[in-house]
Structure 1
Amino acid sequence: MPRQSSSVSAADVSDELPLSINSLSYAYPGALPVISDFTLHLPRGSRCLLLGANGAGKSTLLQILAGQHMVGPDVVRILGRPAFHDVQLTSSGDLSYLGAQWRRDVAFAGYNIALQGDLAAGEMIHGVEGVDPNRRQQLIDLLDIDLQWRLNRVSDGQRRRVQICMGLLKPYKVLLLDEVTVDMDVVARLDLLDFFRQECEVRGATIVYATHIFDGLEGWLTHLAFISQGNLLKGGPIGEITDMGDAKLLKTVERWLRTERNAVRKSDHGTPLNSLHKGPGANGTDTQQKPASKQPAPFFPSRHMAYFH
């Protein structure tokens, strides 16, 4: 009979959280690591802002969380289940991912419907089965969608509203957002942020939001994760980030990004980058971050088969 352990394992802790990342390292085939030794845990109802310079690894991280790239079953856990291996996470609507790059379909919202065909917005939105009609109407009103819009004749911002509506129709438990509000006007963006706050506070949803637009985010976020070259430099509850100070969020992030850029420039002139990478880790405490490995990843025939730890 197998021996019972009295200690609580990392997997047990991960299964109690809606989102858990445990020492994630990831690289595309034949390339250097994009994510290195990344650990972050988010509780139910949290709103985590994902920050970093262009190319820091934010989009890749969100795609991994969305189950689009293979990692070990205990490395990334969503609602206590492996993100890549459990396809029911997305098909059930429990996990929803809306990407930043404009796409011709909303496959990542689980539907695979053309967004630039000669279709009416109402045909798409009302064509999704198993949706609460009250929630559908709430989103239509919130996003100010005209159901008569022909999707091949409207602006990118209007198509974006339809895409967001499609992604939010089912009451997700974990929502991943990658620059989804970039095409939206300020009123629509602020209304959407208020909706997300209600989703977290009333339903206990957990949201990870990557953006470079900080309007309305003061007081909105509960957690923060700042990524530099695939390393988590600062992460955890907003109140435990020791380097926040009293400055506005925009000024704080600007300072972090400028410090990072200067560190990269110094590393190009012989100063080790990891000697400058100090900051709060996943629990908000100061940690020494390890630089990404300089060894290329082994080649695999599929981008989904990049190596993992």
Structure 2
Amino acid sequence: MRLLVRAGFFTLLCLAACVQQPRPEDLAMQWTPLEDLNAMLPDGVRVYAGRNDRLPLRAWYVRIREADPAITTRVVVSNDADRRETVESFARNLGACVVVNGGYFVMDQNPARHAGLLLIDSILIAPATRTVVRDTIRYEAARAALGLAGDSVTFAWVTTRHDTVYAWAEPPAHRPGFPAPPLRYDRAHPWPVRDALSAGPALIVNGQVRVTTNEEVFFGSAIPDVHPRTAVGRTAEGDLLILVVDGRQLESRGVNLEELARLMHSLGAVDAINLDGGGSVSLVVRGRLINRPVGGDAPREVMSALATFCD
């Protein structure tokens, strides 16, 4: 995430976003279905816009019925020479009805490099993050990921070993300055998914808000702070939830990870993870960019995305 803002504007946003954490009731959103877009979508895909004028916040979410045989969601990666393109370009080139930005990537390399697991059609495009160094201390990583197989949506903490993706029921018990013991692979199992995408941290686990910032070694970074956000989750019925929250704007300050988790929980997510945020946050429905990305005069190009196809 890049914080390329003028000092005066940044000060205004900090006054709004940093002085006090809102109470749960202060995060309440007024959600309205976007009927013009919903009219162009199958019944299994519904789009909503939300606002909270008190904080303020502007957000949008999509609920996708993955069990509908006419609907398929895939992880996709850019085929451009620099391995980057806008979310609008993904939607246009793929003919997808819904596309949202995906995982972290290294922006200052050409071609771009995915920073975390990227699995498409059971082919490993990029391995999971192996280790993270904080203050000269090395931590073995197992970060949260989304997996897709058939019409099922699943989540796990993941590692890769010998080109095999392993899922873990629990992340390492890292704390700042205190790495967990080495991972024991007899406690993991190969993850039987077709597509997978990691970012992190986890936001909701088994129906409970659980933000695993320390366990996934996001402490000591800007990731936990208030930013524009993208999150993805699963409902108890197996539907896919996609949420984007605008930020760094007078109309929408953005949210931190705890707030993002609470928003996803309020939408019915029983599992959810954080995806890439900041200037990468883009949601395109039927070819229309419906949020307002920040960070430049044009939407940021990203390396990976989630694309939903509607027959």
TM score, norm. by length of structure 1: 0.27
Q: Which has the higher helix share?
A: 1
Q: Which has the higher strand share?
A: 2
TM score, norm. by length of structure 2: 0.27
